[in-house]
Structure 1
Amino acid sequence: MSLLPLFAWLSPAFPVGAYAYSHTLEWAVAAGDVTDEKSLAAFLADLLTQGFVRSDGILLAHAHRAAVAGDCAALAEVNALAVALAPSAELRLETCQQGRSFLDAVRAAWPGPALDGIVAPLTGEVAYPVAVGLAAGAHGLPLGATLEAFLLATVQNLVSAAVRLAPIGQTAGTRVVAGRAASIGALAADIPALTLDDIGSATFRADLGSFRHETQYTRLFRS
């Protein structure tokens, strides 16, 4: 199976609105937690290994398996958990708006009976990692490659937000992405063996920052 759909789906040009979200990074910059390349790398490392990125990867993997099996009930359960895990209104909007936009775009450009059948019961909010996982599973794309592409795209979007917020430049941002490559590969290799019970995070300051961002005086991003 060609991996070309993954390159398209997780490209910055794919119409999911990812550019509008920073997942609390805007607040972290305003608070002085992220001020340069080193602090950005540390912030992303925590989100990747101890925060939402790891949890999203696990949710994606279970959505992928449910789609491959055609198990609508399991998929609905994973999605309900994913939506419930959002720690704030902004972060719930972030995942659900992107999830629904992603499914709409994929169904319009890459339709298929397997995808239509598994998506049909999801009439309400759909979390972004669940949407990516179910689409990849329905189209027969391998889980390992999907995980690596999704995790990398998540990190790249956060780095893009940091560049626009200006604590770093483009070259430094590229170094930060490259520096996370080994961690992304290791996490993508570990996730397939993890259960939904393994979901959890310890990025409390970032989660609380999402509440503070809601009333931040100046904002470029929706989260």
Structure 2
Amino acid sequence: MKAASAMGITITTRTIIATPQAKSMAETDLFDLMSWMSPAWPIGAFAHSSGLEWAVEEGHVTNRETTLEWIVAALENGAIHNDLVIFVHAWRAADAGDTAALLDVAELAVAAQTGYERQLESCAQGAAFRRIAISAAGVSRFSCYLESLTDENLTYPVASAVLFACRGIPLRMGLTAWLHGAVSNLVSAAQRLVPLGQTDGQTVLRELRGPILAAVENAHGLPEGDPFAAMGGCTLVADLGCMAHETQYTRLFRT
């Protein structure tokens, strides 16, 4: 602590030094998050477009601007918003060791899917995330929380939130990493479907930074209680698009 006097006013300053242990923990958290959200983490996300393939075929998404609009709508008012609500409550339940609450959240997560293809997408990735995490994440408590859930009843936000909580990843950090991964996958799908060039794709991702951070802030501040109260949506075209994708004659993506 240092004190200095200027014009008769004493100013006190405090120097805070980060310990090597705290720095090491932060770096380890970041490394693990990057691993779990990396395309190299084999959950098959590349095979899903969340109905974006139909939106491109129907002319709703045709360029960089409409790609951004489509993703922001899902983030603020659609399926991704609901996934964030589920993530927050699953993380809190796992962090508190409340298995009963976690199973309730997991049940709601499946019931909230608006169609077969959305459920297929979320549960396929959730089941794959669990399988690889049990083998490669090095977090022993993780599988215990989810052992009563079948692959068809485990969504991606639940599986990932539980792993993050069991590993001790702070909620805000976990939300940011998970959401970045979710929208990055949509940007990647748009690059292949629209198609967008590499520069346009990265521009979209940069322009999503503000909406992503705002969504994280809102999700982090969700009150305790029934997660259903915070869920909702007004992206009817996107939801119908996921259903319509199921009957498209030619498809590049599973959903």
Q: Deviations over 1:3-34 (max 9, x none)?
A: 21111111111100000000000000000000
Q: 2:161 aligns with which of 98, 122, 133?
A: 133
Tell whether 2:243 aligns with 1:211.
yes
- 8 Å CA contact 1:62, 1:78 repeated in 2: yes
Residue range with higher mean Cα deviation, 3-12 or 107-116: 107-116
| Counterpart Cα distance in 2 of 1:112 and 1:187 | 28
User: CA–CA distance in 2 between the matches of 1:112 and 1:174?
Assistant: 33
Q: 2:193 aligns with which of 160, 165, 171?
A: 165
Which deviations, in whole Å up to 9, do the C-alpha atoms of 1:135-174 show, x marking residues without a partner?
1001111110110011111110001001111331111010
State TM-score, norm by structure 2.
0.85
> For residues 188 and 93 of structure 2, what CA distance do their matches in structure 1 show?
32
Contact 1:58 1:192 in 2 (8 A): no
Does 1:93 find its partner at 2:120? Answer: yes
RMSD: 1.1
Amino acid at match of 2:157: P
Partner of 2:252: 220
Following TM superposition, by how much is the alpha carbon of 1:116 offset from its aligned partner in structure 2, in angstroms? 2.8
Equivalent of residue 109 in structure 1, options 136, 151, 154: 136
Determine which structure has the larger helix proportion and give its number: 1
Corresponding residue for residue 48 of structure 1: 75
What CA distance in whole angstroms lies between the structure 1 residues aligned with 2:82 and 2:209?
18
* Residues 63-122 of structure 1: per-residue CA shift (max 9 Å, x gap): 111111111111111011111111111110100010010011111012333213212222
Count of aligned positions: 223
Please state if 1:60 is matched with 2:87. Answer: yes
Match of 1:202 in 2: 234
Please report how far the alpha carbon of residue 192 of structure 1 lies from its aligned counterpart in structure 2 after TM superposition. 2.0
User: Which one scores higher on RCO, CA 8 angstroms, separation ≥ 6?
Assistant: 1
Shift of 1:194: 1.8
Contact 2:63 2:194 (8 Å CA) reproduced = no
Counterpart of 2:171? Answer: 143
Tell me what 1:193 maps to: 221
Given the two structures, how large is their TM-score scaled by the length of structure 1? Answer: 0.97
Unaligned stretches of 5+ residues in structure 2: 1-24
Q: In structure 2, the residue corresponding to 1:184 is in which secondary structure? A: helix
Does the 8 Å contact 2:56/2:194 carry over to 1? no
Inter-partner Cα distance in structure 1 for 2:246 and 2:189:
17
Secondary structure of 1:167's aligned partner: coil
Identity over aligned residues, as a percent? 42
> C-alpha distance in 2, partners of 1:114/1:193?
26
CA distance in 1, matches of 2:38, 2:170: 18
Q: In the alignment, does 2:127 pair up with 1:118?
A: no
Counterpart position of 1:69: 96
Question: Which structure 1 residue ranges, 5 or more long, are not aligned?
Answer: none
Q: Shift of the alpha carbon at 1:200? A: 0.9
Q: Please name the residue that 1:29 is paired with.
A: 56
Secondary structure at the aligned position of 2:253 is classed as: coil
2: CA distance between counterparts of 1:139 and 1:188? 20
CA distance in 2, matches of 1:143, 1:58: 12
Change in Cα spacing, 1:111 to 1:120, as seen in structure 2 (3 Å) is farther
Task: Write the letter of the residue equivalent to 1:209.
Answer: G
Counterparts of 1:43 and 1:139, CA distance in 2: 33
- Pick from 26, 30, 33: which aligns with 1:6? 33
The higher radius of gyration belongs to: 2
Aligned-residue offset at 1:126: 0.3
